[in-house]
Every structure is written in structure tokens, then in C-alpha cells.
Amino acid sequence: MDMKPVHIKRRSTEESASFDRRIIDYIQNAAAHGLYEIRGLGAKRHVPHFDDLLFLAGSMSRYPLEGYREKCTTKTLLGTRYAKKPIELDIPITIAGMSFGALSANVKEALGRAASEMGTSTTTGDGGMTQEERGSSRTLVYQCLPSRYGFDPDDLRKADAIEVVIGQGAKPGGGGMLLGQKVNPRVARMRTLPEGVDQRSACRHPDWTGPDDLAIKIQELREMTDWEKPIYVKVGATRVFNDVKLAVHSGADVVVVDGMQGGTAATQTCFIEHVGIPTLAAVRQAVDALEDLDMKGTVQLIVSGGIRTGADVAKALAMGADAVAIGQGVLFALGCNSETWVRDGQHHSALEAYDALGTAPGFCHHCHTGKCPVGVTTQDAELEQRLQPEVGARRVRNYLKTLNMELTTIARACGKQNVHHLEREDLVALTVEAAAMSGIPLAGTNWVPGR
């Protein structure tokens, strides 16, 4: 028998850490188009988050409460500093500002219905207030943004609270963006823009510069509404300690801090992934600022940016937030990144639509294209029919209900009759990074790096 030696060809497959396939693809895409990537949703990179914290529940040193029998209240008051009519919510979980334009009218209506049923608030976005939204939301927060698209004093008077938006976690320092595909006739009319333009909002407010001006602007909004409505100031998380102090100085009733995991309808990827700080670090700095000014309890804190679960809500509250706001979470509840959409109880496949966008369920971030396969982030007359308000409202209500049940489950286990009694003491950190950012000791130690 002829015994030939076997030669196995060696294939070199060592991937570079600096120039891995993802980076090579990025470079080659840039080389092909000469244009940065724009996409929707939030940061995809891994950052220290609420997952890196754990609760210490009751045991011997503290008593837990009975899960189903003993009361645990979730009532939440916002805007008690100056407003004659503070906001009273049944749960500390609110719906974050998202524009009509980014979202369809059906979605806005669904969010309003769900929030009203759950006793919480929704928030308008860049582009003004729609009738669908006002009609369906019991408590509606009206945003005052740099662009002032569709900003109308009559809507301001109809609102229950006003949110002055300085920045957004996904893109602190950047203005909004709505690409031409989503600027349909109604959106164009509401924003006073030509149909189909790639709309770029201003990143600074047109009529004030800096915190001293903002103090006067806030006063104007109060004078406009006879000091009735709470005024929120929303900042994207960057220099949170100073920014929260300045927001308080400017006269805010409520400060909203949005971490880098917060979503967007469309922004440059480099912005989403490389600007701003994680929500975990932001909450800590915001609470530090309020405590430093002795304003904890006087000025309320709403935290947003990557809040997904009831455990996330509980951790944010324990760290010192008064409430959370959720954007992407409710979009996923509505069906974002789902394989199907529903009409008349029948599921229909959305796979072809994902395929047309060059993506698949679980990965889609193509909100910016307006071609949302499940009809959530679209202005297309046909696509938006894929999400009916009743279906959406039920899903969002169920999601919020679940979060609230999880929140009270944890609070009871920690022995709290009120979710707002959760405290830092109830938490430990899982990683050194999380301990350093949150100021919460590493589990099993009393060590906080840097202290």
C-alpha cells in the first residue's frame, strides 16, 4: 500500500483585537459611502449597569414583608417644589419622551392608553403634541425642546407637566434627527418643514443660553401656566453632578437624568456608543448633587436609560431615584424586534421586512429608516397598521404591570411598605467597576473603590 504523507494546509485565522471583523466592516463601509452610520435605539456595547447590583433582602437583621398580604405602596409624587398641581402617579414607572414622527400615531395612542390604565404618565417629543396622545393620556408631560417644532402655548396649557429638554442620553450635546423617509405630510406640517427633508434639530435652545437664562425661561413657563404645572429639566448624562446642581439652581421641580443606554430614533452610531456616561454612574452623581444641595425630597429625580425590568426599577429607586422613565423597553413590549405582527388575533410574519432592511429580529435598530417591520417606529401609512392601538396598549399595560409587581416583590423582600423606602443600604455591587460607579460596596465587603 502506498503510504503518502497527509499534508494539512494551515490556515491563519488570528483575529486582531484592534481591527476585528466589526471594525474592518466599519472601515470598509465608511470607505464605500463617505458617511457615518446613523441608526436607532441605544448603546449596544457592554457597560456597568443595574445588572451589576444585587439586593440584600430581609432575613434575621431585617424582616421581610409577606409577598401578597402586606401592603407595599407605589404612589409617586412629582413636582412638589413649586407647582400648585404636582403630578401624582400610581406607579413610579413613567413613559419617556418619544416623538410623534419617530413613532406612529397608533403607537402614541397605545402608550397613552396603557399609561392611563396604569396610572402613570406619558411624554410628548420633538414635534409637538398630537390629539391622539392628549386624548388617551391621563397625565401628559409636554416637552420644550431646542427645535420647538410644533410648540404651541395652547398645548402647553393642556399639559399636566412641562419638561425642558437640554439633552438626551443617547446623544448628549446633539440635536434630534428625523430622516426624510419619516417626514410625511402630517409630520412636515406639525414641524413646519418641507416634506421629505432630512430634519436636523438644533442642539441648543433658541432663546436662552446657560443656567441663569434657563432660570428666567422656567419662570416664563410658570408665568404662562400660572405656576400650576411641575417643570422638569431633562439632561443627558455627562457631567451629571454639576448639571443636576445647575438644573436645581434654575428652578426645576424635577430633574430627569438620561444615561447613555437611552435610546434614540436616529443618531450617529459614534454618538450613541461614545458619548455620555452609563446610567448607573449617572444616578449616583445625580443623587449626590441633590444631597449636596440638601434638595433630596424637594426636587424629585427621574432616571432613564436602559431601564428594562422591575429589578432595574427597584435598584434605581434604592439608589435614590423617585421614578424611572422607559423608552426602549415599551417599544420592545409593543413588538419591536418581534418576528411577527398581529392583526385581528392573527400573527403575521415580519421576517421579509427585516430581511429587506438587511437585519433580523433581535438585531434591528433601523428606526431611522421609517420601515419598521412591526409598525412601531414608522410614518408609513401601510406599515403603521401593523400595530393596532388596542394590541399595543394591552402589551404595554402588561409590561408595566409586570415591572410594578417585580418592584413590589423586591421591596417587600427588603421589608419595605413603600417602594420609595428602598435605600442604598439594601444593595451590594457585583463588580469592582459597579462598586466604584455606584458608590455601593462590593458584595461581601464594605469596600467602595476610591473611598
Partner 1 sequence: MERVMAENLTAERVTFDLAKIALRDVNTYLHRQLADGDQRHFDLLNPDGAHNIAVGLDQPVTVEIHGHAGYYAAGMNKKASVIVHGSVGTGVAENMMSGKVHVKGFASNGAGATAHGGLLVIDGDAGLRCGISLKGGDIVVGGSVGSFSAFMAQAGRMVVCGDAGDALGDSLYEAVIYLRGEPKSLGADARFEPMTDADYATVAELLRAAGLDHDPKAFKRIASARSLYHWNADANQEY
Applying CB under 8 A, which residues contact partner 1? 33-35, 37-38, 147-148, 151-154, 156-157, 179-181, 191-194, 197-198, 202, 206-208, 213, 216-217, 219-220, 223-227, 368-369
Give the nearest distance from C-beta 270 to partner 1 in angstroms.
14
Say how far apart CA 107 and CA 113 lie, in whole Å. Answer: 10
Give the nearest distance from C-beta 362 to partner 1 in angstroms.
21
Decide whether 227 or 241 has the Cβ nearer to partner 1. 227
Q: What is the 3-state secondary structure (H, E, C) of 254-323?
A: EEEEECCCCCCCCEEHHHHHHCCCCHHHHHHHHHHHHHHCCCECCEEEEEECCCCCHHHHHHHHHHCCCE
Give the nearest distance from C-beta 156 to partner 1 in angstroms.
7
Give the nearest distance from C-beta 205 to partner 1 in angstroms.
9
Decide whether 157 or 274 has the Cβ nearer to partner 1. 157
Decide whether 79 or 329 has the Cβ nearer to partner 1. 79
Strand 139-144 with 121-123, pairing: parallel
Decide whether 88 or 207 has the Cβ nearer to partner 1. 207
Say how far apart CA 93 and CA 76 lie, in whole Å. Answer: 9
DSSP element (H, E) containing 135:
helix 131-136
Strand 93-95 with 121-123, pairing: unpaired
Give the nearest distance from C-beta 35 to partner 1 in angstroms.
5
Residues contacting 390, CB < 8 A, separation 6+: 110
Residues contacting 151, CB < 8 A, separation 6+: 128, 144, 145
Decide whether 213 or 292 has the Cβ nearer to partner 1. 213
The one-letter code for the residue type at 290 is L
Give the nearest distance from C-beta 186 to partner 1 in angstroms.
16
Asked if 416 and 66 touch (Cβ cutoff 8 Å), the reply is no
Give the nearest distance from C-beta 246 to partner 1 in angstroms.
18
Asked if 312 and 272 touch (Cβ cutoff 8 Å), the reply is no
Decide whether 224 or 442 has the Cβ nearer to partner 1. 224
Decide whether 234 or 371 has the Cβ nearer to partner 1. 371
The one-letter code for the residue type at 129 is M
Residue 417's SS3 state is coil
